[in-house]
Amino acid sequence: MKKALIIDDDRNILTTLEMYLEDKGFEIVTAVSGKEGLEKIYTAAPDLVLLDMKLPDQNGLDVLNDIMASGIKTRVLMITAYATIETAVTAVKMGAFDYLPKPFVPGQLDLVLEKLKRFHSMEKEIATLKGIFSEGGILTRNPRMRKILRTARQSADSEATILISGESGTGKGLLARLIHDWSPRAGQPFVTVDCAALQENLLESDLFGHVKGAFTGAIRDKAGKLELAKGGSVFMDEISEIPPAVQGKLLRFMQHREYERIGDPRPHIVDVRIITASNKDIEERVREGSFREDLYFRLNVLELFLPPLRERPEDIQLLAEYYLMRSVRLNGKSIRSISDETMQRLQRYPWPGNIRELINTIERSVIMAQDIELQVTELSSNIANFNPSASSENLFPSLADIEKQHLQNVMLHTRSLEEASKILGIDPATLWRKRKKYQLD
């Protein structure tokens, strides 16, 4: 479901717009001041913002400027009773999508929404022609990534439990949110549980909830994330780190859709979809005995493996330029581009921290920049001075890279999976899982 944020201190306008936009299929968030509106920009990430020019705490153009600097992809419609050509031109130059004077009638809003719809359609068409996928914070032109995203979109309509695997910083959380937004549950909550950040008892309470007096510090009843996500999706990040005791309770929920709060023996039933992610090899955890095999099979109905950035070389320039523009707006800098030499350094670096490391690099470099073009001298020394020929990573590839290459070579020279599995000394089911893991066709 699309989301709209209305920032206006006129209660009548708020109510009218809320009713109108809900009828058009929008989920509505409201704010009565510039400060509140900017806070909700970050928490709600709306598709459309309707922004009053005159607010009790600040000018609407100042709020517009902060929205443009936030880097959040949204369209802003300015509304005001004090319309002038000058303010209209100023607002559009600053990035507003359109401008609507008060009082207005529903027909005028219809025209604006139709214009917005055509604009979105054109954006998607242009991106498609360029071979670029851009949605939900994910930006790529890599064919392998686009194939994974097509699979994710197909699976979004189902109730399948999805496991997203890949190295840290590859965008697993963004993909989980995108699957939720594509699904029939999009209008319901999307709730995240960080399985690696909490101790066992705290994780259990965070997930299932507790009642007052269940343990020291439980001074009131608390609903768990499962209950808070009722009707929506629960994203369990770093699922491989979940303790054995909690694994059993999660398995019960996966099987029967029921759970118990800590300190309360009564069963609770809730309808949510589970999406999980891990940067570890859960199959290895199963073999070690630290992760239940039956839970793994429940969670891994469909696995989506996000490749590391070093395997998406065509995306480095695309992402670097996108985050450069976002960081320029956020930091009020005047940088316009990345020099050719700097881009070459960015493209030859292996990015062990993936997209997250690239974002941090660009943001740091923008802050340090002195020119209108980002120079090599603004990069950190490990990136600026990286020498591929001297890299131990090239001399000593990881076991995963070696395994992937070996699987490819064997499959290339065999006529069937059965023959390949015999040569590799593994059963066909294990080979099938490894093909999925490494995205081998």
Domain boundaries of the chain, sorted by first residue: 2-126, 140-305, 309-391, 397-438
Write down the pLDDT at residue 302: 93
- The predicted structure's pLDDT at residue 84: 64
Residue type present at position 186: A
Nearest alpha-carbon partner for 179 in 160, 196, 165: 160
pLDDT of residue 138: 92
Give me the percent of the chain exceeding a pLDDT of 90. Answer: 42
305 pLDDT exceeds 80?
yes
- Asked whether the predicted pLDDT for residue 403 surpasses 70, the reply is yes
Contact 395, 353 (CB under 8 A): no
Interatomic CA distance for residues 7 and 413, integer angstroms:
63
**Structure confidence at residue 127 (pLDDT):** 61
Q: Does domain 140-305 correspond to CATH entry 3.40.50.2300? A: no
What is the 3-class SS of 256-278, one letter each residue? HCEEECECCCCEEECCCEEEEEE
Q: Rg of the chain over CA atoms, in angstroms? A: 25
Q: Measured between alpha carbons, how far is 366 from 294 in angstroms, rounded to an integer?
A: 48
Whether domain 309-391 has CATH 1.10.8.60: the reply is yes
Average per-residue pLDDT for the chain: 86
What is the C-alpha to C-alpha distance for residues 439 and 441, in angstroms, rounded to an integer?
A: 6
Residue 246 predicted with pLDDT over 60:
yes
Residue 406 to residue 187: CA distance in whole angstroms = 45
Q: Are 428 and 418 in contact (CB under 8 A)?
A: yes
Strand partners, 262: 210
For the domain 2-126, what is the CATH code? 3.40.50.2300
- pLDDT tens digit sequence for 142-172: 999 999 999 999 999 999 999 999 999 999 9
| Strongest mean pLDDT among 27-31, 121-125, 230-234 | 230-234
Under the banding of pLDDT at 50, 70 and 90, the label for residue 111 is confident
Q: For residues 64 and 10, what is the distance between their CA atoms, to the nearest angstrom? A: 18
Burial of 124 (0-12, 13-18, 19+ CB in 10 A): middle
The letter for the amino acid at 123 is E
Give dist(CA 391, CA 388) in Å, integer.
5
Has residue 395 got a pLDDT over 70?
A: no
What pLDDT does 232 receive? 95
Beta bridge partners of 338: 374
Query: Helix (H, G, I), strand (E, B), or coil: what is residue 73?
Result: coil
The 3-state DSSP class for residue 358 equals helix
pLDDT above 70 as % of the chain: 94
pLDDT band for 128, please (50, 70, 90 cuts). Answer: low
Per-residue confidence (pLDDT) for residue 108, from 0 to 100:
84
Q: Using a cut of 0.85, tell me whether the model's pTM lies above it.
A: no
Task: Lowest mean pLDDT of 165-169, 218-222, 434-438, name the range.
Answer: 434-438
Give me the pLDDT at residue 1, please: 59
Q: Which of 129-143, 201-215, 379-393 has the lowest mean pLDDT?
A: 379-393
Same fold, 140-305 and 309-391: no
HSE (side-chain half, CA atoms, 13 Å) at 270? 27
pLDDT digits (tens, 9 = 90+) for 363-383: 999 998 888 889 999 998 889
Q: pLDDT class for 78, splitting at 50, 70, 90?
A: confident
Q: Which residues contact 307 (CB under 8 A, 6 or more apart)?
A: 142, 144, 145, 166, 170, 439
Contact status, residue 227 vs residue 184, Cβ threshold 8 Å:
no
Owner of token pair 């890279």: 401
Q: What are phi and psi of 196, to 5 degrees?
A: -90, -15
